[in-house]
């Protein structure tokens, strides 16, 4: 085929954005052929914004219609796994919004269905297209930073007022979202964390539930990550601070790396700190360093359009995905582990994450009906 025919499942804020990108022609090898919107109001909006596109009120009807080659899941994230499994059964490629689901036990069958189908499976981790984080990841993986010692990431620029939390009945509820800032907003940074630094071995967290807003879920969180190689990590996030901060600092043998306000700065030591420790004889000496601004290379398309273009290329040409859908479970594991630690006060492993225990505790919190 010359183009990938896309169907967008869910025509809310993010679904409308995805549909608009494709309909605009920003991705030459993609075309929008179908949209699923349940409410008459959203169907009218889709009809106005995307003339000529076939409209459906039921996602299964769209996926079995033969009008699409791939679907974009832009529904509440608890729906993603079931919708993806059905799409794969219909021979469709799947690009899901983040997070992959509410909890890890829900996502595992989706990953298994994707593997069995042989279809392309991606996730909308659009911040992987950011040239700053791409450059940072290359520096970590190249070894030029030496061993990593500490990572501290403060992400408090996700401010959301109570008006946002009440804008939809499923927002900011255990039953509707399965979590708050960890599941909804900062899942992007949790994905970037594991993408750049790998999965930590254990997670500990403290959280405030409805600390700043009249909501059920977490809106203020401090997480501590431990790695077997000695690396430690601190992750702080909130929807109740403004103006917020987004500052990522990495302490390493070769100095210090800071990402903030779109700039990547490297205070580069003249010699590895560990080597200096072994050879120095002066009590108050320290290695000399130079302050460098790391150059960034911006791709042609970034953000949501970048992931859509990347996914389209994978479907048509078999190119590797920047954000494989199967990796969605990793950030979800970190979010679930942080919540489980906050609920129990315990250190939680990631390799053998207790899916069943987490789900039992989550279901107790999901008993409150929506509305």
Domain boundaries, given as residue ranges, for the chain = 4-126+302-323, 128-299+331-365
Three-state DSSP class for 201?
Answer: coil
Residue 103, beta-bridge partner list = none
Q: Which residues contact 70 (CB under 8 A, 6 or more apart)?
A: 4, 5, 6, 7, 92, 93, 94, 95, 120, 311, 315
pLDDT at 170: 82
Is the CATH code 1.10.40.60 the one for domain 128-299+331-365? no
Dihedral angle sign, alpha carbons of residues 92, 317, 98, 337 = positive
Three-state DSSP class for 215?
Answer: coil
Tens digits of residue pLDDT in 266-311: 999 999 999 999 999 999 999 999 999 999 998 889 999 999 999 9
pLDDT at 370: 57
d(CA 277, CA 254): 12
Q: Count Cα neighbours of 256 within 13 Å in the Cβ-side half-sphere.
A: 12
Three-state DSSP class for 111?
Answer: helix
Dihedral angle sign, alpha carbons of residues 99, 103, 106, 110 = positive
pLDDT at 169: 86
Closest CA to 156 of 212, 104, 112, 103: 212
Tens digits of residue pLDDT in 154-202: 999 999 999 999 988 888 999 999 999 999 999 999 999 999 999 999 9
Q: Count Cα neighbours of 75 within 13 Å in the Cβ-side half-sphere.
A: 23
Low-confidence ranges of the chain (pLDDT < 70): 369-371
Question: Could you give the angle at the alpha carbon of 156 between the alpha carbons of 152 and 161, nearest 5°?
Answer: 165
Q: What is the dihedral of CA 88, 94, 96, 101, to 10 degrees?
A: 20
If residue 274 lies in a helix (H) or strand (E), which one and from where to where?
helix 273-279
Closest CA to 341 of 329, 357, 326: 357
pLDDT at 79: 95
Q: Which residues contact 90 (CB under 8 A, 6 or more apart)?
A: 63, 64
Dihedral angle sign, alpha carbons of residues 338, 339, 345, 348 = negative
pLDDT at 344: 98
Is the CATH code 3.40.50.720 the one for domain 4-126+302-323? yes
Whole-model pTM: value is 0.95
pLDDT at 368: 73
pLDDT at 300: 86
Q: Which residues contact 207 (CB under 8 A, 6 or more apart)?
A: 218, 220, 221, 222, 338, 339, 342
């Amino acid at each position: 085929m010359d183009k990938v025919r896309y169907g967008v499942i869910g025509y809310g804020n993010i679904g409308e954005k995805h549909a608009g990108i494709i309909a605009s022609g920003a991705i030459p090898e993609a075309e929008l052929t179908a949209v699923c919107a349940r409410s008459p109001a959203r169907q009218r909006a889709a009809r106005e914004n995307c003339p000529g596109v076939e409209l459906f009120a039921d996602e299964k009807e769209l996926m079995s219609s033969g009008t699409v080659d791939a679907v974009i899941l832009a529904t509440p994230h608890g729906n993603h796994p079931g919708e993806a499994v059905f799409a794969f059964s219909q021979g469709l490629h799947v690009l899901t919004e983040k997070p992959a689901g509410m909890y890890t036990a829900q996502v595992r069958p989706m990953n298994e269905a994707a593997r069995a189908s042989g279809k392309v499976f991606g996730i909308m981790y659009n911040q992987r297209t950011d040239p700053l984080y791409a450059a940072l990841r290359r520096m970590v993986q190249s070894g030029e930073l030496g061993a990593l010692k500490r990572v501290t990431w403060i992400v408090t620029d996700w401010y959301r007022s109570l008006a946002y939390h009440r804008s939809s009945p499923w927002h900011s509820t255990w039953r509707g979202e399965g979590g708050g800032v960890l599941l909804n907003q900062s899942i992007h940074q949790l994905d970037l964390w594991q993408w750049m630094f790998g999965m930590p071995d254990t997670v500990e967290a403290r959280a405030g539930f409805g600390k700043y807003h009249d909501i059920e879920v977490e809106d203020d969180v401090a997480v501590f990550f431990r790695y077997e190689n000695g690396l430690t990590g601190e992750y702080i996030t909130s929807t109740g601070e403004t103006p917020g901060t987004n500052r990522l600092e990495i302490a390493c043998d070769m100095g210090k790396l800071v990402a903030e306000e779109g700039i990547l700065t490297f205070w580069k030591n003249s010699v590895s700190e560990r080597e200096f420790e072994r050879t120095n004889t002066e009590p108050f000496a320290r290695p000399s360093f130079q302050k460098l601004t790391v150059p960034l290379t911006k791709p042609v398309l970034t953000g949501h359009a970048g992931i859509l273009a990347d996914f389209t290329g994978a479907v048509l040409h078999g190119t590797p995905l920047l954000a494989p859908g199967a990796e969605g479970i990793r950030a979800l594991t970190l979010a679930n582990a942080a919540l489980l630690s906050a609920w129990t006060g315990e250190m939680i492993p990631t390799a053998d994450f207790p899916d069943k225990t987490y789900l039992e505790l989550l279901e107790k919190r999901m008993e409150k009906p929506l509305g």
